[in-house]
A and B are shown apart, each in its own frame.
Chain A
Amino acid sequence: MEAAARIIPEIQLEHVTMEYASDASRVTALQNVSLTIAKGEFVSLLGPSGCGKTTLLRIMADLAQPTSGELKVAGKSAREARLAQKYGIVFQNPVLYDWRSVKANITLPMELKGVPRAERNRKAMELLDLVGLAKFAHHYPWQLSGGMQQRVAIARALAMEPEILLMDEPFSALDEFNRERLNEELLTIWSKVRNTVVFVTHSIPEAIFLSDRVFVLSPHPGRLSAVVDIPLPRPRTKEMRNSEEFFRLIARIRDSFEEGV
C-alpha cells in the first residue's frame, strides 16, 4: 500500500546545495541533497541542530532559494506551487495574530484565498472541531496554552486545504506528555485529510511514530545520510511506542547517525 502511494512524486529535490556567505568564509548548510517525496506520504526530516533540516523545509516552501540544484513540487517550481497556494505551513512558534480571535486566525488563509465569508466560517468551525478547540473559537490566542495555540496553527495551515503540509518542529516547545498527545492527534487529523506532510524534528521517537519514511540528515555540512522506512502499520497507536519494532527502529536510526558522522 505504501509502495503504491509512492508512485506519484509530490516533491523532488535533485542535488540541492545551500551555501551562506558570512564575513570571510562560506558555510555550507546543505550539500547535494536529492530526495523524492510521494503524494500522500508523511515524511520526517530528522537530525541534530545545524544539519540544515529547517533550511531544507524552507527551500521546499520557497521561503529560501538554494544556491544550486533542482526542485520540483507537483511538477512545477516551488514558487509556482506557493503562488498556487498549495502549501500549509506550521512554524516552531504558533505565529498567531494577537488581534484576531482563534476563529479569525483560522479564517485568515481563506480570506487571502478569496473564500466567501459563510464558507470561511463553516470551514473554520469544522477545523476547530477537528483540533478539538470548538469551545475556544471566540477566545484570543493569549488566552490559550502553548499546546492549544499550536493546534490553532495546525488548523490554520489546514484551512488552505493544502496539498502539502510543511511542519517545522511544531511541538518542540512542548513538554514530552503534550508532545506525544499532539502526535497522536496529528495522525488522527491527517488520517482524515491525507495530504503530503513534511515534518521537521530532532526527536527520533517522534519521527518514527509519525512517518512513513524518515530522512536522516547529518551536520557540517548538512547532507542526507540515510532514508529509513517505517513499516509500522496505520493507524498508529500509543502502544506501538513500546513495541520491539519501535525500539529496533530507534536503534537503526541512531546507528545511521554514527555512520554519518
Chain B
Amino acid sequence: MKAQGRQVPVLVWGAALLMLWEAVSWFLLEWAEVPMAQSKLPYIHKVLATFGTYGGVLAAESRITFANAAGGFFLGAAAGALLAVLMSASKWAERLAFPYAVASQMIPILGLAPIVFGIVRDEEAARMLIAAYITFFPVALNMLRGLKSVSPAALELMRACAASPWSVYWKLRFPASLPGLFSGLKIAAPLAVTGAILVELMGASRGIGVMMLRNLYYGPSHVYMFWSTVIVGALLGIASYAIVSGLERIAAPWQPEFRTKGGGR
C-alpha cells in the first residue's frame, strides 16, 4: 500500500512531463512554425512508434555497444582497482602514478579516440580501450579513498592480533574500500557507455552510435529514428548504472543507506 502511494506522484510527474513535451512539440510545429521543428523537439508519440517498429534493430545495435562498453568497463575497473591497491600500499607508488593518472584525464577523449584507433586498428578494441580509459580514473580515485578510509583503531586491532599484511588487506582494507569502489563504478558505468558511443560516432560499422550518426546525416526524414537512438543511448547508461547499483547491494549491503532494521546508531 505504502509503496503504491509513493509511486503515484512519480507516475503523475512522468505523465505531466510527456504531455508538456507533446504540447511544446505541437506549439513549435503548428503554432510558431519554427523551421525544422520536428528536429528540435519531435512528437514523442512518433518517436515511440519508431521505437516499436525498429525495436529489433535498435536492440541488436545496442547489444554491440553495450558489450563493448561493458568489456572496457571491466578492464578499466580492474586496472583502476589494481592501481588503487598499489597506491595505497606504497606512498612511493602513489607519488609516481597519481600525477599521471590525473594528467591522463586532461586529454580530450575526442582527440584520443582516433589515436587509439590508429594504433590498435580494430574498432571493437578501440571502443573497449576508450571505455576502459574513462572508467579507470574514477574507480582508482574512489577506491584509493576507500582503502585509506580505515580508522586507526581498526588497524591497531589488526596489529594487536599480529595480523599479516595480507590479512590486513583482505579482511580490513578491501571490505572497507567497497563503498568507495562502488561510487567510482557508479560514476564510471554511464561514462563507459557514452565513451563507447563516442568512438562509434568517429567511424565504426556497427553499434548504436553508428545508427545515430547515419540517421543524423539522412536529415529530417530520419529524425524520429535519430531521437530513438539518443533515447536508447540514455537507456543504456541508465541500465549500466542500475546494474552496478544492484551489484553494490549484494556486495556491500552493510552501508547506512541499505540498512533496514534497527540502526539506532
Interface residues of A (CB under 8 A from B): 61, 63, 82-85, 87-89, 91, 93, 95, 97-99, 108-109, 111-113, 139-140, 142-146, 149, 160, 166
Contacts and interface: CB of A to CB of B under 8 A. Distances in A.
A111 B263 contact: no
Nearest to B260: A143
B91 interface: no
B153 A99 contact: no
27 contacts: A85-B161, A89-B160, A91-B153, A91-B156, A91-B157, A93-B153, A95-B151, A95-B154, A98-B254, A99-B175, A99-B178, A99-B252, A111-B171, A112-B158, A112-B161, A112-B162, A112-B163, A112-B164, A112-B167, A139-B262, A140-B262, A142-B262, A143-B262, A143-B263, A144-B262, A146-B265, A166-B160
A112 B161 CA distance: 7
B254 A82 contact: no
Contact of B259 (A63, A142, A144): A142
B172 A97 contact: yes
Nearest to A98: B254
Interface in B145-161: 151, 153-154, 156-161
B264 interface: yes
What 6 A-B pairs are tightest by C-beta distance, nearest first? A143-B262, A89-B160, A99-B175, A95-B153, A98-B254, A99-B254
A95 B157 contact: yes
Given A93-B153, A97-B175, A109 B161 contact: yes
A26 B39 CA distance: 75
Interface in B235-255: 252, 254
Contacts of A113: 161
A224 to B, nearest CB: 24
A98 B252 CA distance: 10
A63 B159 contact: yes
Contacts of A140: 254, 262
A113 B159 CA distance: 12
A160 B161 CA distance: 8
Contact of B160 (A63, A111, A146): A63
Given A142-B262, A143-B262, A61 B160 contact: yes
A175 B259 CA distance: 26
Contacts of A95: 151, 153-154, 157
B264 to A, nearest CB: 7
B40 to A, nearest CB: 50
Nearest to B255: A98
Contacts of A139: 262
Contacts of B164: 112
Contacts of A89: 156-157, 160
B165 to A, nearest CB: 12
B187 to A, nearest CB: 22
Nearest to B160: A89
B261 interface: yes
Contacts of B176: 99
Contacts of A112: 158, 161-164, 167, 171
B193 to A, nearest CB: 30
Contacts of A109: 161
Contacts of A93: 153
Contacts of A98: 254
Contacts of B263: 142-143
Nearest to B154: A95
A166 to B, nearest CB: 8
Contacts of A143: 261-263
Given A82-B160, A111-B171, 9 more contacts: A83-B162, A85-B161, A95-B151, A97-B171, A99-B175, A112-B162, A145-B264, A149-B265, A166-B160
Contacts of B167: 111-112
Contacts of B178: 99
A188 B171 CA distance: 32
Contacts of A84: 162
A145 B264 CA distance: 7
Interface string B75-110: 000000000000000000000000000000000000
A145 B162 CA distance: 29
B174 to A, nearest CB: 10
A87 B160 CA distance: 7
